[in-house]
Chain A
Amino acid sequence: ETGVTQTPRHLVMGMTNKKSLKCEQHLGHNAMYWYKQSAKKPLELMFVYSLEERVENNSVPSRFSPECPNSSHLFLHLHTLQPEDSALYLCASSQEFETAYNEQFFGPGTRLTVL
């Protein structure tokens, strides 16, 4: 266990559904991240929050909407997804975003399948 939990672990949704992924960290960290992990591709950083403010947004389609209500929780709201959005979505946290040496702690991921 890394101290980062994600729910649900598996999610199947239709293209017209709306769902949310949840991430919670119990480490007292100030930075949280969403990554997309697809087969045969490097991990793609989607969003970064530092002290509940979004500091990175890597040209992610608007059908993905992040929310960080406090430093311990991070959500990824999903709507009108496409089949190519099927992937493993990983959440991570670190002490601070700006400190390059900081280790990132990852959650187990949510396996998303879009039908």
Chain B
Amino acid sequence: AQTVTQSQPEMSVQEAETVTLSCTYDTSESDYYLFWYKQPPSRQMILVIRQEAYKQQNATENRFSVNFQKAAKSFSLKISDSQLGDAAMYFCAYRSGPYSGAGSYQLTFGKGTKLSVIP
């Protein structure tokens, strides 16, 4: 079974600075997808960014980018120019791809990292 580990339960960043949240995963599959979800204090979780394992290029979405290291099974999230609205729980998640033969397409989540933004 796949596991997702977020080793930083809490982090803080100064407004306008850059922060990196770490995520590692364990899998024997070569076909999979990785996601970062954000859950603000209002609790409605939203997708921040996603990465296909077969793509070498790191995904970017405005101020959010990832550092995907497939061999190291690492998928970190970088937030540039941090804003107060970035304060939230961030969850890293893994999902088997259609060619993995996994037979299940569940999302497996890490425990989350609580990010605080200091004004």
Q: Footprint of B on A, CB under 8 Å?
A: 1-2, 40-43, 45, 48, 56, 58, 88, 90, 92, 97-101, 103-104, 106-109
Contact = CB atoms under 8 A, between A and B. Distances in A.
Which of B32, B45, B50, B106 has the most A CB atoms < 10 Å from its CB? B45
Nearest to A9: B43
Interface in B1-58: 4, 32-33, 35, 37, 42-47, 50, 52
Secondary structure dominating the interface of B: strand
B44 A108 contact: yes
Given A48-B106, A56-B104, A100-B95, A41 B111 contact: yes
9 contacts: A1-B44, A2-B46, A42-B108, A42-B112, A48-B106, A92-B45, A100-B32, A101-B50, A106-B45
B89 to A, nearest CB: 10
Interface of B: 4, 32-33, 35, 37, 42-47, 50, 52, 91, 95-98, 104-112
